[in-house]
């Protein structure tokens, strides 16, 4: 079975500071990993995904994530937070031969302080 744990339901950073949102996965087979962002009253939007190619994945809006198999992690980072980054972020895992069924973490709400 697959699962995702997102440590920290709320993260607060100052504008311009480093953003680090944590995601750890559990999977008995090689995983595919995704980060989505959800703004209020909007659907989930894909930020980036890991599909077993490069372990460092760059996404939209300056976000990137690194797949670390030894740590079963896929943390999301951004060097400098903008006010517009305030949203809820979800990590998800899917696996081969499971028809692209996603297992989501419980989400992390990012607050950006001026």
Contact residues for another protein (CB under 8 A)? 4, 6, 9, 32, 34, 36, 41-46, 49, 51-52, 90, 92, 94-107
**Between 19 and 92, whose beta carbon lies closer to another protein?**
92
Q: Of 97, 57, 94, 105, which Cα lies nearest the Cα of 77? A: 57
Least separation in angstroms between residue 113's CB and another protein is 22
CA distance 44 to 105: 13
Least separation in angstroms between residue 56's CB and another protein is 17
**Between 13 and 92, whose beta carbon lies closer to another protein?**
92
Q: Which residues contact 14 (CB under 8 A, 6 or more apart)?
A: 81, 112, 113, 114
**Between 15 and 22, whose beta carbon lies closer to another protein?**
22
């Amino acid at each position: 079975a697959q699962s995702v744990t997102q440590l920290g339901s709320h993260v607060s950073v100052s504008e311009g500071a480093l953003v680090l949102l944590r995601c750890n996965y559990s999977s008995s087979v090689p995983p595919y990993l995704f980060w989505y962002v959800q703004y209020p009253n909007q659907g989930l939007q894909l930020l980036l995904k890991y599909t077993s190619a490069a372990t460092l994945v760059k996404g939209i809006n300056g976000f990137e994530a690194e797949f670390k198999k030894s740590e079963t992690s896929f943390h999301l980072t951004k060097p400098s937070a903008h006010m517009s980054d305030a949203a809820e972020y979800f990590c998800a895992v899917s696996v081969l031969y499971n028809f692209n069924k996603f297992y989501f973490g419980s989400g992390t709400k990012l607050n950006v302080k001026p």
